[in-house]
Amino acid sequence: MATASFPLVTLDALGRHLSKLRAPCSLLGHHACKDNIVLYITPLLGHAATTSLPPAPLTSLQWTASPALQDALKLLTDSGDRVRDTATKFSLVLTTTTSGPGIKSICDEMRQSCDSLLAALALLVGPAIGAGGPLMELYCQQVRSILRAIEELLRHIASPDSRLLSAPRPLRSPEGVKDELAPKTGVVWQQCEELKKLPRSNRVAYRRAFLTHLSAVKDTLREFREMLAEAEDDAGTESEEEDDEEEEGEEGGLAGEMADLELEEAFWGGNGGGAMREWEKENLSRCLVPLGHCGEMVKGFLEAVEEVAMEGGGEGEAEGGQHARESGWMGNIKELEESCQGLTAAVVNAADALYPPQAPQELQSQLASLGAAVAHATAALGRFPASPAVTRCQAVARNAMATVAVGLAEETEGEGEGGGEGGGEGGG
């Protein structure tokens, strides 16, 4: 019994250590914490070697992968391989021994592997590499997933249900142990392999970020355009059904209408929100105009970044060297991507307010937030190097701002009428 309790204590201590390691990964995912990286990482590294790379001077953000960035990424993926191999060793160790020293040895090795993984991550997001926000965030999230998978593996080993540490030797056959640990070990393997599939340059990471924003906006616009089309089709169908009901007889038509209402209330609730009222359809039709312009803005951001990159604006090889890079377009891309992210969130929030039943005040508030996001994104775009794509995007931004303003004014004017109609219907 003593030999069984010692490994459990060892595994529990390693689990607590992994929980501590996961916290800074979450903080590192927000690149605002980049400058304070050492404060979060250093106390957790223990005796792990922080890096085998020579110190590098401070460099600015680079569009294509620099040698320093490639070296840092290789160190990180190598550390992931070490974690994967150590996780596999748990199956081998538990088939031969459950003694305290044996379990302690593999736990110490896993702790060192995880420390090295986090140290490599700290190097990647440090100031000497030039990794951008989206690239940093992707790797921070993946390292966190690896640590979570290892923690789940340890929990399973230490669980009384697994009996891996307390079962008699005949029940711990090599095949049985491997089969029991295979699912959890496989998750660790998968997460470590995912580390190798992530972007390896700021160019790919930023492109993925802009494409993610664009995809979210496109999906939102598609959904609400289809909703408007269905609402208009339903209005036409209802008119035809009324004519048919008159021919079939009042009793049958009324029964069908009541059945439809019951289904509608079951899905949407008792507020009748499933049927979009005329003033709500008008709001949806009006709001889709500025939302569409915002979608074009997000698409224009990606085109502007790629166009400037193709002209060599981000390579930093012009006169001025490092200073030119820091004061050039790469110094503005972080702001541009963040404003694009804010614009995307504003589009989604404004669209959510268009679901029936609509609340005019909430919709007006979301449109105001959308206007502020458009203004912020337009300002960020204005600080980007001039190019045809930037000029086109600025024209779309002006259209977006103009239609958001018109939408707000018209919504304010029509709110009383729409509210009155809705109230009248409800009262009837």
User: Structural domains in the chain?
Assistant: 2-200 (1.20.1420.10), 206-427 (1.20.1410.10)
What does the pLDDT read at residue 170? 44
- When mean pLDDT is compared across 5-19, 49-63, 320-334, 373-387, the lowest value belongs to 49-63
Amino acid found at 269: G
Cβ burial, residue 414 (10 Å; 0-12/13-18/19+): middle
172-180 long-range Cβ contacts below 8 angstroms, 24+ apart = 172/94, 172/95, 172/98, 173/95, 174/95, 177/91, 177/94, 177/95, 178/91, 178/95
Give the dihedral of Cα atoms 246, 247, 252, 254; nearest 10 deg. -10
Residue 23: pLDDT band (50, 70, 90) is low
Please say if the pLDDT value at position 77 is more than 90.
Answer: yes
Span 344-389, pLDDT tens digits: 999 999 999 999 888 888 998 999 999 999 999 999 998 888 889 9
Q: Give the pair of three-digit tokens for residue 129.
A: 């590499």
Please say if the pLDDT value at position 309 is more than 80.
Answer: no
Please give the share of the chain, as a percent, with pLDDT higher than 90. 28
Cα–Cα nearest to 22, from 212, 109, 138, 151? 151
Please say if the pLDDT value at position 184 is more than 60.
Answer: yes
Residue 18: pLDDT band (50, 70, 90) is low
The average pLDDT across 413-422 equals 44
What does the pLDDT read at residue 327? 44
| Average pLDDT of the chain, as a whole number | 72
What does the pLDDT read at residue 272? 45
Q: Is pTM beyond 0.85 here?
A: no
- Within 8 A by CB and 6+ apart from 80, the residues are 117, 146, 192, 195, 196
- Report the distance separating Cα 118 and Cα 60, nearest Å: 23
Give the angle subtended at the CA of 132 by the CAs of 131 and 135, to the nearest 5°. 80
Span 203-250, pLDDT tens digits: 899 999 999 999 999 999 999 999 989 888 765 555 555 555 555 544
What does the pLDDT read at residue 399? 92
Residue 47: pLDDT band (50, 70, 90) is very low
Evaluate whether 124 touches 136 at the Cβ level (below 8 Å).
yes
